A and B are shown apart, each in its own frame.
Chain A
Amino acid sequence: MKTIYLDNNATTQMAPQVIEIMQESYALYGNASSMHSLGRESMVAIEAARSSVARMIGADGAEIIFTSGGSESDNTVLMLARDMIDEGSKRHRIVTSTIEHPAIIETCQYLEKKGYHIDYVNVDASGRIDSDSFAQLMGDDVLLVSIMAGNNETGTIQDIQKLTQIAHAAGALMHTDAVQAIGKMETDVRQWGVDYLSLSGHKFYGPKGVGALYVRKGAPFKAFVKGGHQEDGNRAGTYNTAAIVGMGRAADLVFETSVQERQNLWYLREKLRTGLQAAIPNVVVNGHPTLCLPGTLNVSFAGAEGESILLMLDFEGIAVSTGSACATGSLEPSYVLLAGGLDVELAHGSIRFSLGRYNTESDIDYVLEKMPTIIRRLREISTR
């Protein structure tokens, strides 16, 4: 059976070019911190990857710290803020949003339990942060702001440049979780003006278990993972050479192709959206209609439950994800969808299609062929 992978926000398939360079890199067994030539050979490859990642987001190589991924990058920034507060910073408040990835939101809740002051700005029905309500949360006691660039579930994107200006005007540091944004929207740290930015290799056709944190030159920083002199003492741990090299190659591909790729993704996404709306009654599109990551389409089907839809699609070879409670392992459906005020029942019936580089128009045709029958059948079985 053919597989149609429409879960690219969960993770992406590695690009063949990435696999190729990683296979070569596995031979670079020298510890990149060693002084001998084997070690230096690994370090040369790592430094090339650093330049590629930096170029992709408009940064300098010296501003890139390699990490194990987005979650570590996010934790690093929040724990930095905690340390600054512990060390007597006059600013002691952290501001974030209600729709952040768990790496931010649950870490903030953890800090809150320990007595730190966190404020959460809410979003409107389209998933956007209103800059006025955001500005109201600012003040001279705010140390750090962390707002994601593009949401993993709805795809809604934020005006990071504007929010950064507001945060900076209040004297706060600005972090953005750009894990979903990379390759899907213009991501330029200088234009945005952010102090910190998290990214993760496997979301842009690179390997899993590797990511990076951008730290603006001059921004405060302290190691989160301690115990080694790697990354100028900013992140301990033996270099994962092959993964870093793979992410570097993936970054080059984003730099070279992402503008055209985004147009294609939006075309396919809109074809899917209009096709579903034309063929199926009672479809609700979640998130912002235009300010959206180009490959993400989050829709709710009244009267059909998300996990059932997901499994029916899976039996047809189509991979998607859902915000239903059954999939989250609790009785509560997606907090991101509920934050925007979506009806609970519709949140249970939500499906996220996330398209990627390797999807084609015929993939979308196939989904449009299968989907109406699935929804009709589930609605026939349903209590409503």
Chain B
Amino acid sequence: MNTNSPVWVYTDTVKEHFMNPQNVWEDDNYEPDGEGLVGSMACGDQMKVGIKVKEDKIIDLKWQTYGCASAIASTSVMSVMVIGMTLEEAYTLTPVMITEKLGGLPKHKFHCSVLGDKALRAAIDNYLENQGRDNPYRKLVAKIICECKNVTDQQIEDLVKTKKATTLEELREITEYGTVCGKCQFRVQRLFDEYKHIYNV
């Protein structure tokens, strides 16, 4: 009957990273090569990630998170996973990989782990931008959401982020998503809401 039970079933790994978070950005003078900020305090979670890069490898990562235990633990464990990775490996990191490393999160807490990889990608984007380089990783992580019109999650993300699509109607006008078979409508709507939350628009 009770399918929405708010029971805390945090693993020991979550607790460890929450109580003793690793690689926290505490030094105000830390100067990263790339920096990303996603989410908003008004939405209840916000993450900032800074990376240092050498020969396309992440040699250091510092972060700050405003949010619940899952959000803090997710960013902390992400930082541990990412240091030493190539930019490509880091860019293709998914929320599922982060939550697996944590030993799992309660189902209704999965949402809290999605900001971590988004902040990391934003930092890598920023790094490449600072270097004046093209971003070869973006297309690796794009997923086709509307098969009929070949619309990817990244297209939707970009349109939301840049405020080119502020409503679903605008999104449809630009991408023509869902105008053929219509099967993707629910997924597009969910992604649209999620990106609005992440980029606070």
Using a CB–CB distance below 8 Å, which chain A residues touch chain B? Answer: 303-305, 307-308, 311-312, 315, 324-327, 329, 331, 333, 344-345, 348, 380-384
Please state if B8 and A382 are interface contacts (CB–CB under 8 Å): no
What's the least CB distance linking A322 to chain B, in Å? 9
Which residue of chain A has its CB nearest to the CB of B37?
Answer: A383
A331 touching B41 by the CB < 8 A rule? no
Interface residues on B, range: 20 to 34
In the complex, chain A residues whose CB is within 8 Å of the CB of B71:
305
A305 touches B66 (CB 8 A): yes
**Interface of B, helix, strand, loop or mixed by DSSP:** mixed
- Cross-chain contact A381 with B69 (CB below 8 angstroms): no
Contact B43 A331 (CB under 8 A): yes
Q: Give Cα A344–Cα B45 distance, bound, in whole angstroms.
A: 12
The minimal Cβ–Cβ distance linking B85 to chain A, given in whole angstroms, is 22
B53 within 8 A of A: no
Q: State how many angstroms separate the Cβ of B11 from the closest Cβ of chain A.
A: 13
B42 near A344 with CB under 8 A, answer yes
Interface residues of B (CB under 8 A from A): 4, 6, 8, 10, 15, 18-19, 21, 24, 26, 37, 41-48, 64-72, 108-109, 112, 197
Contact indicator A381/B65 (Cβ below 8 Å): yes
B80 CB → nearest A CB, Å? 15
| CA gap between A104 and B6 in the complex, in Å | 22
Interchain CB contact (< 8 A) of A307 among B24, B47, B69: B69
Q: B58: shortest Cβ distance to chain A, in Å?
A: 20
Instruction: With both chains docked as a complex, state the minimum distance between the C-beta of A271 and any C-beta of chain B, in angstroms.
Output: 28
Q: Which residue of A lies closest to B40 (CB)?
A: A345
5 A-B pairs closest in CB distance: A326-B68, A307-B68, A382-B66, A344-B42, A325-B44
Which residue of chain B has its CB nearest to the CB of A302?
Answer: B41
- The residues of A that contact B4 with a CB separation of less than 8 Å are 329
Are A331 and B197 neighbours in the complex by a CB distance under 8 Å? yes
- A115 CA / B197 CA spacing, docked (Å): 33
- Assess whether A315 is in contact with B19, with CB atoms less than 8 Å apart: yes
Indicate which residue in A308, A344, A383 contacts B69 across the interface (CB closer than 8 Å): A308
With both beta carbons as reference points, the residue of chain A lying nearest to B45 in the complex is identified as A305
